[in-house]
Amino acid sequence: MSDFTSPRITEKRYIKIPPTALTASGTVNGLITVENTYCFKVGQCLLFKQGTIFFKAKIQRVISETQFIVIEPSESIVTKKKLNMSSFLAGTTVELQEVKRPVIDLLEIQRQVYEEEPTIALRTHQVDWLGRSYDASNPMPVQLSDGSIDIGTVNAELAVQLTHQDNVPNNGDIADSVKIGDGVETLAVNPDGSINVSINPTPSGNYKPVSTYNEVTSVVSSSLTTVAAYTVPIGKTAALYTADVSGSSIATYTVEVNSVVVDKKYTWFGGQLSERFEFTTPNGGSIQLLAGDIVTIKITHNRPTPGNFNAKIDVVEIG
């Protein structure tokens, strides 16, 4: 693009076009080729310079981004006469001094902007610098830079074709991978086609299930006793999923994270003497733990004789 890509907009005169080199020799039919025809307008009288030769010609038609046709300055733009420009070789310069625009009759202006039937209206839609309407084959150029744009809520339909194998169902289709999850676990398809939760805490898959088991014996009545405890190692995080507890007599079991109670269960007369804590949420989540966090299971009972108890804490270590 030449250095006049952003000209001033004027009402009564054409802005100067600096010397611009022809990129190909002119033709016997008046065809001129330049790097870019931006700012070249029909009716302009241009000055061609080749060495000591100076020649004037008028633009009859701009036909593309790089080419236009010239005629004799005295001819009307509707003439069929051809101007031989073959003597002007590549490298010849063409320029335009700032000149007054030609006067156009008002009725002629109305004729030019009137849209024919079936539109029947004065044309107001935008066109590009070659006069071409913007449409699917000639989209309006838009560029966002050095900032952002907020267009609010957009209601739209998006057609998406997903396939789990290349070339299925059509030849040339490329397989897409879509995962469904909550940021910790993702759904996985089993070999039999069923779906279950795939524990995948990190994109790299660097995780490890860890179970911590412990027993205590001869626990006396009304004595709050720690049965099992787990501490997240330094440099790791963890997800708490389940905890199993049982004992030789009825008791109250409490799960704490950093000394804060997160759940409590009871065993009772005539019932089972074991319980399971489930920390997964309906969408597959779990209690998230940071390095140094401590999970503790404690029991207390009111039986007159000492009792024996055990607990197991199940987590997934991440990192």
pLDDT exceeds 80 at position 239: yes
The average pLDDT across 250-256 equals 95
Task: Specify the pLDDT at position 177.
Answer: 67
Longest dimension (CA), the chain: 123
169: preceding bond cis by omega (within 30 degrees): yes
Nearest to residue 160, comparing CAs of 176, 172, 180, 181?
A: 176
CATH 2.60.120.680 domain locations along the chain: 207-318
Q: Does domain 1-133 have CATH number 3.20.20?
A: no
Compute the distance between CA of residue 173 and CA of residue 166 in angstroms, rounded to an integer.
5
* 222, burial (CB in 10 Å: exposed 0-12, middle 13-18, buried 19+): exposed
Q: What tokens appear for 121 in the block? A: 């209206």
Compute the distance between CA of residue 85 and CA of residue 53 in angstroms, rounded to an integer.
13
CATH 2.40.30 domain locations along the chain: 1-133
pLDDT exceeds 60 at position 201: no
Task: Specify the pLDDT at position 248.
Answer: 92
Terminal C-alpha separation, the chain: 54
- Residue 112: φ, ψ to 5°: -70, -30
pLDDT exceeds 90 at position 311: yes
Report the CATH fold assignment for 207-318.
Jelly Rolls (2.60.120)
Bigger pLDDT: 74 or 174?
Answer: 74
- 75-87: per-residue pLDDT in tens? 999 999 999 999 9
Bigger pLDDT: 96 or 145?
Answer: 96
- 135-169: per-residue pLDDT in tens? 888 888 877 777 677 777 777 776 666 666 777 77
**Residues 44 and 58: beta-carbon distance below 8 Å:** yes
Q: State the Cα angle at 105 between 103 and 107, rounded to 5°.
A: 160
